[in-house]
Amino acid sequence: MSTPGPDTPDDERSRRAAERAFVRAHHPDVGGDPAAFAAGLAALRAGRTPTPPGSVTVVATRRLRSAPTRLFHRWRRARQRSRRSTRLQ
């Protein structure tokens, strides 16, 4: 069985978690020293590989529906609403 490499997702998550914890604890807005904050943040980020400029990270995309599918879903929601309103009376 191979050992995980330095660029595994778990390693990246732990690095980001450590960076966030450091920022929460030492940020100048919460009373930290600005010089120490900048130095510590630079040290934490030194191990990370920077993202190339112009790169785009897609977080989530919405699946586009065709016109007939949209009409069907709209009709089904209206039908469910009308059934609910007749049950309540």
pTM of the model: 0.44
- Residue 89: its pLDDT value, please? 60
- Helix, strand, coil percentages (3-state) for the chain, rounded to 5, are 65, 0, 35
41 Cβ neighbours under 8 A, 6+ residues apart:
19, 22, 23
The counts of H helices and E strands in the chain are 3, 0
- Say how many C-beta atoms besides its own lie within 10 A of residue 37's C-beta: 18
Check if the beta carbon of residue 52 is closer than 8 Å to that of residue 46. no
Check if the beta carbon of residue 66 is closer than 8 Å to that of residue 44. no
Check if the beta carbon of residue 26 is closer than 8 Å to that of residue 44. no
Q: Residue 75 — very low, low, confident or very high, per pLDDT cuts 50/70/90?
A: very high
Q: Residue 79 — very low, low, confident or very high, per pLDDT cuts 50/70/90?
A: very high
